[in-house]
Amino acid sequence: MPHDHGAPSPSSMLVHPIFIALCLVCCAASAFLGKTVLTIFCGFVFTLLLCSYFWGRLSIKKLTYSVNIPASGVFPGQSVQIKRTLSNNKLLPLTWLELFEMGENHSSFYTFSLLKWYQTLAFNDEWTAKKRGIHKISLVTLRSGDGFGLSSQLKRITQEPEGRIAVYPELLDVSVEKILNDIWDTRSASFGYLEDVTLVKSVRDYSPGDPAKRINHRQLAGGHGLVVNMYEVVSPNSVLFVLDTASFSGQPDENLEYALSVAASLVTGLSLRGIRVGLLAPASKHFEQTCVLPSSGEAYLARMLELMAGAGKEDAALTAIDNYPAPELVGQVYYITYSERLSTSLSVLAPFPAHKTQVLAFFPDDMPPLAHGLKIRPLHSFRRVS
């Protein structure tokens, strides 16, 4: 297993080129003076240091190192297998090698007693996730040298792309039934069905009174006459979560951790129920602002959990999303914030129907009945009472 360690130490001053040159001068001078024993000694030291110098310099050449991390993340308490591969791509064997791995929240140190010529060594580590976040392996330093331990060289390798482990927010026991009830209520309010303008079922000839926005301009440009689109009729069974992590700035860390855990639990629970779930996440130090459209499938769920793993109180405020397709088709929108008073991005909710949009506040500001015309609910109301 890896353990914490300081930076590798430099080479001995004995193999400095000036000192090696001084040994050669001493050897020549003692030979000129007829000092046989001293000449042999100085010649031996010169040869030893010169071999050590070049051995050390060549030892670090043609070394490659890679880290293979599973693509999906883990939840706190789960373990992940990380595979590392180290290759010596030359004829010269290495009698020792040190590997210093620097990550965003960790450092690891490994030692090897022998790496043969053209040998590839693969080894695995099992890491247990403890804290939410994006944990990166960004810089690796290899140190090796001669067999006498006098000369050593460093080789720094930057992982491209960076090795990254996403530790998702901790899952809590939440009630997704409350969200399903909200979706049912909005279906009743809209008679349960809407036309999905992203799904064209068929076309028909234009009739007087047809809205201009239904005209199929592609067919018209192709010379096929004036026709209008007939859209698929669907029921709005999707949910979009909006994260306002910037509103938690200045608040204790555990408040944001709780909010993200509730959000991750609701996203996971709804996905398992077959509900299409989406997420609008702000720009963080790991990701740009990202909108995952309501979808189903493990890949989309993993992406949303990864975005929440990378969220922080220092995130930027959300900017408006002008190209959200058919916002009227969304089943429910939940805006997660610290409080309605400290919210930073309520304007991004403008495209969505107000009766389908709610503010979920960690601190509900004495629970006003409406926040900016939107219903407000305490975030903790989704926790199950044991």
Average pLDDT over residues 345-370: 82
Helix, strand, coil percent values for the chain (each to nearest 5): 30, 35, 35
- pLDDT band for position 232 (50/70/90)? low
Is the model's pLDDT at 287 over the cut of 90?
Answer: yes
- pLDDT, greater one: 343 or 191: 343
- pLDDT band for position 280 (50/70/90)? very high
| Superfamily grouping for domain 1-167 | Immunoglobulins (2.60.40.10)
- Which range (10-14, 16-20, 46-50, 54-58) has the least confidence? 10-14
Could you give the percent of the chain with pLDDT greater than 90?
Answer: 31
Who contacts 309 (Cβ-Cβ below 8 Å, separation ≥6)? 73, 132, 133, 134, 166, 167, 168, 169
> What stretch of H or E contains 162?
strand 152-167
pLDDT digits (tens, 9 = 90+) for 94-134: 888 888 887 766 678 888 888 899 999 998 888 888 889 98
CA dist., res. 244 & res. 261, Å (int): 14
Average pLDDT over residues 134-155: 80
Q: At what angle do helices 298-309 and 253-272 cross, to 10 degrees?
A: 180
Q: At what angle do helices 17-32 and 36-59 cross, to 10 degrees?
A: 160
CA dist., res. 247 & res. 339, Å (int): 7
- pLDDT, greater one: 161 or 283: 283
- Which range (140-149, 276-285, 303-312, 364-373) has the least confidence? 364-373
pLDDT digits (tens, 9 = 90+) for 367-380: 555 556 788 899 99
Class of the CATH domain delimited by 177-190+236-382: alpha beta
Question: 3-class DSSP state for residue 179?
Answer: helix
- pLDDT, greater one: 68 or 362: 362
Average pLDDT over residues 141-169: 79
- pLDDT, greater one: 47 or 127: 127
Is the model's pLDDT at 347 over the cut of 80?
Answer: yes
CA dist., res. 369 & res. 382, Å (int): 18
Is the model's pLDDT at 2 over the cut of 80?
Answer: no
Could you give the percent of the chain with pLDDT greater than 70?
Answer: 84
- Which range (103-107, 257-261, 331-335, 350-354) has the least confidence? 103-107
Average pLDDT over residues 327-352: 90
**What is the pLDDT at residue 1?**
34
Is the model's pLDDT at 179 over the cut of 80?
Answer: yes
- pLDDT, greater one: 71 or 356: 356
Going from N- to C-terminal start, the domains of the chain cover 1-167, 177-190+236-382, 194-234
Average pLDDT, the chain: 82
Average pLDDT over residues 205-233: 74
